[in-house]
Amino acid sequence: MRRSKQDIIFDMLRAIQQKGGSIKPTHLLYKSNLSHQRMKEYIDELKQRGLVKEEQQKEKNMFLLTDQGYEFLQKFQQLKAFTEAFGL
Amino acid sequence: MGFSFFIRGPVWFFGIDGVFEGLAFIVALLLAIYAYRAYKLTHDKRFSLYALSFLAITLGQGIRAVTDLLMHSNLENELPYIAFLPHLQSTPLLFTAGYFLHILFMLLGLMILSCYAMKVKDIKVFCVMAFSLLPLMLLVTSVYLAFHYLGLLFCAFIAYSYWKYWCTKKIRPTCLVFIGFLFMALSYVQFLADTVFRVLYISAHLTQLAGYLCLLAALFMVLRK
């Protein structure tokens, strides 16, 4: 079944959370099951919304989950239930 | 004639109708707030439109509650009688404005929900609906019948859309939303019929409140997750 945009965002953020809050771009690419171009588009949106930030750790680029990103993950289940219940 | 085009039902019910509308105001407000919070979290336009529709319904119910409660106080004896439409000549401006604002906001809210249910993406469709139906409320001779007829149409359509959706999803909150809008549609039928049987004004308010309480129950089931 095709994932909605919110489902993809949730999957990406959960993948980062499961890796302890930071993840390499390559790992995120595998976990999110997206093409490189699409993942880049989503990452840009997540960075713009403040859910994810990019940092250098030990000379490697890493994506980190922000506080807002953790909050989104917590509220997502409720949001998904609301979306399903009210047909949004 | 006085306020007869909006005053229905037995005298003992006056004021109680305002309380019922106040409860509907609270339910619609809670839904508007949650939808807006969902929009802030996701930046998804669907939630902002849903919030806007329930905000309009909130305003409509709130204005009606205040108007009804004011009308049943002695205030109407002290307000200026200014007529701007021939068939409303003995109605104070405040109450006329209150009821018309109630109609405007309720129809706006139901129109947005209907467009959403029809999956209308083109704003021109909504504009055609709004610009054709809303001015008609000022021109018809029976505003009461016209408004409740349109309310019935919109609620029935929204209920039907949720029924179809529930047939695919089969989740309890969706069933409650369907029943909620169905009750609202049934309440409008009773409002239309109360021109003949005045007691239906009471059952119409009860049915409408039941509809809003079903929506509230659906929201609580979601928030428990």
Q: Mind listing the pLDDT tens digit for each residue in B44-59?
A: 888 999 999 999 999 9
Q: What is the arithmetic mean of pLDDT over B158-178?
A: 93
Cβ–Cβ under 8 Å, residues A72 and A51: yes
In chain B, pLDDT over 70 holds for what percent of residues?
87
Who's near B30: CB < 8 A, 6+ residues apart?
A: B216, B219
| Per-residue pLDDT band at B6 (split at 50, 70, 90) | low
Mutate to test the interface with A, among B215, B222, B223 (most CBs of A within 10 A): B222
The mean pLDDT of B90-99, rounded to a whole number, is 75
Instruction: Give Dmax over CA atoms of chain B in angstroms.
Output: 56
What is the tens place of the pLDDT at every residue in B66-85? 888 877 765 555 555 444 44
Average pLDDT over residues A40-57: 91
B223: closest CA of chain A, how far (Å) = 6
Radius of gyration for chain A, computed over Cα atoms and rounded to the nearest angstrom: 13
Residue pair B72/B15 in contact by the 8 Å Cβ criterion: yes
A82 in B contact zone (CB under 8 Å): yes
Note whether B76 and B95 are within 8 A (CB). yes
Is residue A48 in a domain? yes
Determine whether the interchain pair B173/A78 forms a contact, defined as Cβ–Cβ distance below 8 Å: no
Token pair 């109708």: residue: B17
Q: What is the pLDDT of residue B2?
A: 41
**Identity of the residue in A79, A87, A88 whose CB atom sits nearest the CB atom of B41:** A79
Distance separating alpha carbons of residues A31 and A73, to the nearest angstrom: 16
Using the beta-carbon criterion (under 8 Å), do A82 and B222 form an inter-chain contact?
yes
Contacts of A84 in chain B (CB under 8 A): 169, 171, 173-174
Residue B9 in contact with residue B49, Cβ under 8 Å? Answer: no
Of all residues in chain A, the one with the smallest CA distance to B167 is: A87
Q: Is residue A87 part of a domain?
A: no
Query: Among candidates B220, B115, B100, which has minimal Cα distance to B161?
Result: B115
Structural domain range at position A11: 5-78
Query: Which residues in chain A are contacts of B216 at CB distance < 8 A?
Result: none
Q: How far is CA B221 from CA A53, B33, B148, B170, B172, in A?
A: 34, 16, 30, 14, 9
> Does any domain span residue A83?
no
Q: Is residue A85 part of a domain?
A: no
DSSP B5: T
The amino acid sitting at B164 is K
d(CA B43, CA B91): 45
Give chain B positions within 8 Å (CB) of A86.
50, 173-174, 177, 218
Q: Is residue A86 part of a domain?
A: no
- B131: number of Cβ within 10 Å: 10
Question: Chain A closest CA to B173's CA: distance in Å?
Answer: 5
Please give the Cα distance from B209 to B213 (Å, whole number): 6
User: How many percent of chain A have pLDDT more than 70?
Assistant: 99
- B170 vs B186, residue with greater confidence: B186
Structure confidence at residue B5 (pLDDT):
55
The secondary structure of residue A60, as a DSSP letter, is: E
Q: Where are the domains of chain B?
A: 11-223
* CATH architecture assignment, domain B11-223: Up-down Bundle (1.20)
Count up the domains in chain A and report the number.
1
Rounded alpha-carbon distances, angstroms, from residue A23 to A11, A20, B195: 13, 8, 67
Q: Which parts of A1-88 are beta strand (E)?
A: 22-23, 52-57, 60-65
Q: Closest by alpha carbon to B59, among B14, B21, B13?
A: B21
Alpha-carbon torsion, ordered B47, A87, B110, B192, to 10 deg: -160
CATH of the domain at A12: 1.10.10.10
Q: What is the structure's pLDDT at B138?
A: 77
At residue B131, the pLDDT reads 87
Helices (H), chain B: 16-42, 45-71, 93-117, 123-139, 143-169, 172-193, 200-223
Cβ contact (<8 Å) for B46 and A88? yes
Compute the average pLDDT of residues A1-23. Answer: 87
In angstroms, the separation between the Cα of residue A58 and the nearest Cα of chain B is 32
Joined together, the tokens standing for residue B13 give 């019910």
**Confidence at residue B177, expressed as pLDDT on a 0 to 100 scale:** 95
